[in-house]
Every structure is written in structure tokens, then in C-alpha cells.
Structure 1
């Protein structure tokens, strides 16, 4: 059976793109074909073979470029889908609370939809894989991700349940923040979770120190302070900002701990893990909405009055967002997926502007700008400085004449001098 080598760390429902990824199997095959062809042709040692090698290299470059263009086009579609799903989830959640103020019930209902991850993955596996496995066989193979013994009760309560709790906290705090402040502030402040991921990874995982990311983290913290100042430090605003920052912190903690405890997962393993989180939420936390109902904390007169279209819409958009973010690496670049998250900020800002739910004063605009700038700075690759140096070197070499051209110029000058004599 052909296995997919891409590995992805499944994130929280309100997550940013994955921490680390390996290359998709087969991505480098065109280059290997070029190397093999070049070696074969060089052994012949005739002019025709060299011409053939040049043509083959040119064709391979065209193929690689076509592959990159294909992934870029998919990336544009992914940016639109990620932005739409995340902004739609935020806006519809805000509308749902106007009819039924029940953030935990909505969190529980949306998280239960995660149970669909592994069944949908298995359907795709059964349709595309040349060597089909039964559902039990596939489940056992994906369960090896948790250890040689597979999924045991001990593994479930030590390696799955804690992440399920962090998942619930991330979503619940995010929805609670939507009850206090506008969607623009919530979406932009949640972008700080990527800065928190870097800080925790640097401290806990001993990742590489990067000055530009430290600057980005400082910008994120400064943006949080300025956002609080923009509302005049009112208690309602401070509570909402605290809730969304706590949600971003839970999301960052989820990602870093997952990387530290479980490492990374293949697509099937990630689907199984997310399904376990959704199933555990349904089995072990179903009593909480019931208690909140009878204590009138999240109370509604009858089940018929529950805004089911809003509840299903929020759950479907959140599920789609999780699918795009966690498995979109199969068709495009992770950076483009990240870009879709930050672009949801101006979308929410436009909605809030036309609904008159936000005052875009100067301080708020500066805060939003520097947080988004910090998020984009965190998307820079680790060797971004080396890339700039190499690009600068190549540009300089283009401007300088080559040795052959310099020798030709010198020969022409000598011929002209002899002719004048």
C-alpha cells in the first residue's frame, strides 16, 4: 500500500497552520529524473547527447514550474476558503448568541462534529488507495501513532483527553470573547497565538532563535496593549480581550504540547486523533450542557427555539476550517494557508464597519496593523536572511561582466589598436 509521507500536527479548532511538515512523497521525483538523465547522457560524450540533455532539463524545468503554478493556484483557492470559513464561523457565532446565548453548548455541539474526520478519511482511502484495507485494519494501523500497543485506555486518558480539554477551552474562550467584544478585535487578537507558539517552542522545544520572530512577538504584545487602550480600559472590553488572549494561549499550548508529546502525524493518524477528540467530547461532556440547562445558565424555553441553522452553520464552517488547515498541505503551500487566516481580519472589519459595531479610531487601526504585521513576520522561513543574501549576490553577478565577455572586449580593443596602427 502506498503511504503518504506528509506529516502534520493536528491543531485546535481555532488554530493557525501546522508547526512542522515533511515533504510530500514524490515531490522531488522530477529533479531525480533530471539527475539520472544527465548522468546517462554525460557517459556518451557526444554533442547530440549534450543537446538532448539540455532539452530534457528544459522540459523538466517546465514541469517543475507547472507543478509550482498548479500548487499556487490551489493555494489561492485555499486562501479564499480558509478566510471564508474562519470569518464565517466568527460572524455566525456572533449571530447565534443573539438568539441563544449558550457558548459552551455551541462548543460541545461543534466539537462533536470532529467525529466525522476518520470516517471521511477512510472513505477517501477506500476510493483512492490501490490496496484497500478494512476499517478495522486501517484503524489499527493509524493507532500505532500512539505507541506499539495502539490505543489503550491509559493512552487515551494521558495522550488524548488532555488535548481534548485544551481544544474545548480554546473554542469556549473564543466564543465567550465574542459575547464581549466585536468580531474584528477577536479575530485579530487571536492571530497572536502564532507568536505564543513561537515563544513556547523556543522555550520548551528549544527551537532555533530568530530575532525577527522575537520582534513579531513584541509587536503582538504591543498590539494587545494598544487594543485595550483603544476602548479606554473599560471592564467589558478588558474581559473580552483577556478571554481571547487566553484562547490564543490555549491554542498555542495545545500545538506545542502535541509536538512535544506526540510529535507529528500522518493524515490518517491526524484524522483518527481528531475523531477521538470529538467522540470523547460527546461521551464525557454531554452532561455539562444538561447541567447548564437545568441551572438556567444556558437556558432556552424549548428545543424548537434553538437556532439550529446557526448551530449547524457554525459547526460546519469550523469543521471545514479544520479540514483545510490540517490537510491542505496535500495540495498547496503552508504559508498560503496561513495567509487565509490573517485575511479574515479585514473581512470581519468590513462586516463590523457596515453593521456599525466598531469604532475604527487611530489607536485601533494601529493595533490591528501591527498585530497583522507581526503575524506575517512569523511566516518568514528560518533561512529568510540567507535567501535575501543569495538573491542580492545573484543580482550583483548579473550586473558584473563574465570572464568570457571581458576577454572578448579586451581582444576587440587590441584588434582595434592594431588596425589603427
Structure 2
């Protein structure tokens, strides 16, 4: 059985092409060390030639790396817009769907079933990008090695896949239930607390590095939850909605931490296969729940012709697009930019709620939303952020010192020139 360490990359942190490019360029550097000839003049010429070629090589590498970073930044801007629009759009459309189709679990089941499209979409992209022509069966078997040497067995499914499917369903169901109680701005803002919960669980379960700034961010998230509850005066309807969305964020955090602990890291094909299996298992094993809820009139929606299929497909499609961007967007841009798209959905939902008059912004609510978003952004800081600040300040100081030295040298030279000028003038007078 394949072993995984506790401290591994998350589901979306797959192999990046930037690492491959850096490694390839690093392999060319030892070629610069060339042994010179016995003749001093020939050695000098060879050294200058190699120096010129190495300088050109370094310049070429710098241009390539800079172009790659610019391209990733441009892709990142597009990714931020797509992630923000898909997440905010699915939230707003789900809120609108409940006005005609008040069945949150059925909507959760329907949207989760669309996860079956993950692996087919990945295979199409793999065939277009990869020159190796593998059949779907061969690719499926290769990705199944992610679950162990024996592949996807019944024991592996019920011990390592089914629990994550349950957490996935609970996360989406509680999120949709919260939308029925409170407005979309509060729901999207409170759901951002899941990143703070991920840090706390990773610190406790995975023994991740302790960071004071992330503890402060977690405290800000908890304070924002309390202030959000206080903004509506602790009414039962609001308290229930806030409890539901906080529970949804907790289930999402538990899903991510357990994935690191149990399964480890996943490549693109493995992640796509895993999510497709969750969608297939949802369709096979949970289809009886919407039927029971229908006949017991818990989620009764009349005849199938009364179902707003356009809204349901819109919510499912936007959630599918959001999960594709979050899990596979790392291939073309930075993970931090993807996370920014999630937090930017909060002001987008706020503008929509303000336009539709579904929310009243008071001072407490604005402060709560700001605190939660600030805590989310603080959690995006890298582990060595303090060292990066120290290095940046050191570089700035080094740049200022030569400028000051040049200014002092210029002052001294001018003083010397004035002294010489005075001496010559005095000599001429005498």
C-alpha cells in the first residue's frame, strides 16, 4: 500500500509546469565551467567568450522566466474573474432557485452528480495536450494507482472515498440551507472562515507550523462570526442561518485536512478521477434520499414540468466550473490569485443584494464582513512572509547606500574643486 506523509500538498496543489522549467534551466548551468588552455592569451579569449555566452544564456533565461511570470499573472487576472463570477453566480442563482424550487437536498444531489464529468473533461484535455495516445481505460487504471497498489477496491472505496463524498454533500447541503435563511452576502463572507478552520485543524491534526499571524487571522474570523450574529440582533432565524454556514465551512475544512492526512497529494488525473467517483457514488447510493423526501412532502415540488430545470442546470454548471477552476487552475497561475477570486465574491454578492434590496448594511455588518475578509487575506501569506520582508528591507537599504555614497563623493569632489580653485586664484593674485 502506498504511504503518504501528513504534511503534503492540498488537492489543488498538483505538479506545476514552472517547476519543470526551472529544473531544466538549472541543468544548463554546469556547462559554463569550461577548462581553459595552457596559453594565457587563449585562456583569456576563451574566458571572455564563455562569459559572453553565459551572459547571453542568463539574459535569455531571465527573459523566458519574466515572460512566463507575466503570462501567469495575466492568466491569474482572468482566473480571479472566472472564480469570482462562478462562485458568486452559483450563490445568487441558488438563492433565486429557492423561490421556485424549495428543495435544497435535491439541488445538492443534482449538482454533485455533475461531478461525473470531471474525468471525461480531464481526459479530453489530456488527449489534446499530451502526445501519448492512451485509451480511457489505460488512463483510468493509471490514475487508480493513487488509491494504492491494488487500485480502487471495495475496501478502499468505503474507507477512503465514501467519507469524503459524505463531507462533500454535507458541505453543499448546509451551504444551500443557509441561503434559505440569510442573505448571500453574509453566507459568502462567513464561508470564507473555512480557511481559518483549515489552519486550526492542520495545526492540531497535521502538526503544521505554528504561525502567529494565522492565529490572529483565525481570531478575526471568529470575531467576525460573532459580530455578524450581533448585526441582526441575535434573532433565531439569523442565528440558525449563521450556524448552518459555519457548519458548512467546518465540513469543508475537515474535508481538506482529512484528504491531506488520508490520501496525501493528487495529480490532475487523480484528482479528476476522485471527484468523478464522488459524483458517481452520489448518483448510485444517495438517489433514494430525494425520492423519500419527495413522497414525505419534505421537499415536494409538484410535477417534473414545474421544476425550473434551467436554474438547476445553471447552479450545477457554475459549481462544476468553480470546482474545475479551483482544483486545476494551479496549472496556469498562482494559487493565491485563485483564493482572491473567492474573497472577491463577497463584495460582488453585496452589490447584488444592495441592488435587489435584500440586505440592510449597518456599521456592525460592514465591520464584520471586513474583519472576515481581512482574516482570509492574512491566511494567504506564505510561511516565510517575515523573512521576505526582512530581505526586501535589506535590499532597499543596499540600494540606498550606494546612492548616499555617490552623493557624498560628489560633495567631496566639489569641495576639493573649490579649494583648488581658491588656491589658484590666490596664487594668481600674489
Q: How does the TM-score come out when normalised to structure 2?
A: 0.89
* Range with greater deviation from structure 2 (42-51 or 242-251): 42-51
Q: How far apart are the structure 1 equivalents of 2:35 and 2:230?
A: 68
The aligned counterpart of 2:289 is 288
Structure 1 residue 45: Cα displacement: 4.3
* Superposition RMSD in Å: 2.4
Check whether the contact 1:190–1:245 (CA below 8 A) recurs between aligned residues: yes
Structure 1 residue 40: Cα displacement: 4.9
Q: How far apart are the structure 1 equivalents of 2:332 and 2:395?
A: 31
- Is residue 8 of structure 2 the alignment partner of residue 27 of structure 1? no
Q: How far apart are the structure 2 equivalents of 1:55 and 1:142?
A: 42
* Range with greater deviation from structure 2 (219-228 or 396-405): 396-405
Q: How far apart are the structure 2 equivalents of 1:82 and 1:53?
A: 42
The aligned counterpart of 1:144 is 145
The aligned counterpart of 2:312 is 311
The aligned counterpart of 1:202 is 203
Q: How far apart are the structure 2 equivalents of 1:28 and 1:290?
A: 54
Structure 1 residue 61: Cα displacement: 1.0
The aligned counterpart of 1:112 is 113
The aligned counterpart of 1:341 is 342
Q: How far apart are the structure 1 equivalents of 2:204 and 2:214?
A: 13
Q: How far apart are the structure 2 equivalents of 1:147 and 1:297?
A: 41
Q: How far apart are the structure 2 equivalents of 1:311 and 1:403?
A: 66
Q: How far apart are the structure 2 equivalents of 1:66 and 1:190?
A: 36
Q: 1:298 to 1:62 in 2, by over 3 A?
A: same
Moved over 6 A (4+): 41-44, 402-411
Show the 5 A alignment for 1:13-412.
Answer: 18=12, 20=13, 22-24=15-17, 25-29=19-23, 31-32=25-26, 35-36=29-30, 38-40=32-34, 45-401=46-402
Structure 1 residue 248: Cα displacement: 0.0
Check whether the contact 1:34–1:60 (CA below 8 A) recurs between aligned residues: no
Q: 1:353 to 1:319 in 2, by over 3 A?
A: same
Check whether the contact 2:185–2:349 (CA below 8 A) recurs between aligned residues: yes
Q: How far apart are the structure 2 equivalents of 1:322 and 1:406?
A: 56
* Range with greater deviation from structure 2 (94-103 or 54-63): 54-63
Q: How far apart are the structure 2 equivalents of 1:106 and 1:48?
A: 68
User: SS of 1:401's equivalent?
Assistant: helix
* Structure 2: stretches of 5+ with no match in the other structure: 1-7, 37-42, 425-430
**Higher alpha-carbon Rg:** 2
Q: How far apart are the structure 2 equivalents of 1:21 and 1:125?
A: 15
Q: How far apart are the structure 2 equivalents of 1:77 and 1:38?
A: 39
Q: How far apart are the structure 2 equivalents of 1:312 and 1:91?
A: 14
Check whether the contact 2:32–2:50 (CA below 8 A) recurs between aligned residues: no
> How many residues align structurally?
407
Check whether the contact 2:191–2:249 (CA below 8 A) recurs between aligned residues: yes
Structure 1 residue 133: Cα displacement: 1.3
* Structure 1: stretches of 5+ with no match in the other structure: 1-6, 11-17
Check whether the contact 2:301–2:307 (CA below 8 A) recurs between aligned residues: yes
Check whether the contact 1:41–1:49 (CA below 8 A) recurs between aligned residues: no
Q: How far apart are the structure 2 equivalents of 1:135 and 1:275?
A: 14
